[in-house]
Amino acid sequence: MALRVRLHSIPAALTLLLLVACTAPASSSSPSASADVPSTSPAAAAYPVTITDDAGREVTIDSSPQRIVSLAPSGTEIVCALDACGRLVGVTDFDDYPAEVSEVADVVIAAQVDVERVVAAEPDLVLAAGNEITPSSVIAQLTDLGLTVLVLYPESLDAVYADIELVARAIDATAADDLIGDMRQGVDAVVSAVEGADRPRALYEVFHAEGATYTAGEGSFLASLIELAGAVPVTGDAQGLLAAEELIVADPELILLGTASYDPSLADPEAARDTVAARAGWAELAAVRDGRVVPYLDDIVTTRPGPRIVEGLEALARAIHPDRFD
């Protein structure tokens, strides 16, 4: 008994790593989203459509999906941004945007996919998230039950655009080009706003536990956003883990507390600064000495790889270069 109890308590603590999973890169290189249908094809797609999803799976969709289940908020936001919100028949209990999805039944509760509820929703398309955000065992189970599952896991802005196009093809939506055009414009606006500004070494705190800080993983989507927003990201390993000593060596000039999005006690800048200054070794970091510890309240839009990722990028740029957005 004792042995198994120990085995279980280690993962319990490590489960918190999942918080970072949505920003960390997949260790196996997944092929980028592509579609076999020529991109010049007219809007009214001819079904069946065969597309390749972000997990490298070939997915054939027989007819235009009218009952869509989304197992991750980013998928929900893509469907709604493509004007297909009305076709959603199942979402997660974490979905909060747009407001009308609160009317849709929850099939993912407390991060657990309720397979029975998914089946009961009778979906003709299920949008899952890759990199174990939707467990691969659940994806396999849903596929075995005869459901059509499309796995989305974009790891860059271009991949987000590609996923929007992929979903648009899958569900026969026409709004993709306008949406992606607007997003590209938004990104360009942010990039030109911060052009020429000093680029501080920035630590984005995703999660902090005794002695371990999770930040943007090396080569991760979040790291690339921080770079676009006009800073040099202080990165951890592939999972975003940054050891205390490495942090002190990296000596960030700016600390963005993504954790403040979920912890009201960090929302006040002075309280936030005091909190991090009290951690061993942190008081000597340049960011803490110079008072550049920023409670960052837009973690959700910054780490949710959907259409609002541009808002997330702009929020990052504003936090890093407030003077450029007056």
Partner 1 sequence: MRAATVAPPLALGPGLGRSTVVIGSGIVLLLAVSLAAVAAGTSGVGVGDALAIVAHRLLGIGTVTWPLSSETIVWELRLPRIAAGIIVGAGLGCAGTVFQALLRNPLADPYIIGTAAGASLGAVGALLVPTVLPIAIGGWLGLGLVQIMAFAGGLAAVLAVYGIARGRGGTPVVTLLLAGYAVSSLLAAGVAMLMFVSGDRLAAVVSWLLGSLAGASWPRLAFAAPLIIVSFSLLLLRWRGLNALLLGEQRATHLGLEVEREKRILTGLAALATSAGVAISGTIGFVGLVVPHLLRLAFGPDHRLLLPASMVFGAVLLVLADLGARMVGGIPVGVVTALIGAPFFLWLLRRSLVVHD
Q: At what angle do helices 157-171 and 221-228 cross, to 10 degrees?
A: 120
Which distant-in-sequence residues (6+ apart) come within 8 Å of 22 by Cβ?
129, 131, 133, 303, 304, 305
Report the residue number, 238 or 248, with the smaller CB distance to partner 1: 238
Q: Which is nearer to partner 1, 55 or 80 (CB)?
A: 55
- Taking the CB of residue 219, how many other CB atoms lie within 10 A of it? 13
Nearer CB in complex with partner 1: 145/189: 145
CA distances from 143 to 108, 124, 140, 146 (A): 17, 12, 5, 5
Residue nearer to partner 1 on the CB measure, 58 or 245? 58
Cβ-contact 150, 59 below 8 angstroms:
yes
Whether the upstream peptide bond of residue 322 has omega within 30° of 0, thus cis, is no
Residues 272 and 309: beta-carbon distance below 8 Å:
no
Is the CB of 64 or the CB of 143 nearer to partner 1?
Answer: 143
Structure tokens at 264: 């009201």
Q: How far is the CB of 53 from partner 1 (least distance, A)?
A: 12
**Residue 229 Cβ vs partner 1, minimum distance, rounded to whole Å:** 25
Nearer to partner 1, 21 or 267 (CB): 21
**For residues 292 and 58, what is the distance between their CA atoms, to the nearest angstrom?**
47
Binding stretches for partner 1 (CB under 8 A): 1, 3-4, 6-8, 10-12, 14-15, 17-18, 21, 24, 26-29, 56, 109-110, 112, 114-117, 119-122, 131-132, 135-137, 139-141, 143-146, 238-239
* Contact (Cβ atoms closer than 8 angstroms) between residue 214 and residue 239: yes
Q: H-helix or E-strand containing 277?
A: helix 269-277
Q: How far is the CB of 159 from partner 1 (least distance, A)?
A: 16
**Judged by CB, which is closer to partner 1: 137, or 192?**
137
Q: DSSP state, 16?
A: G
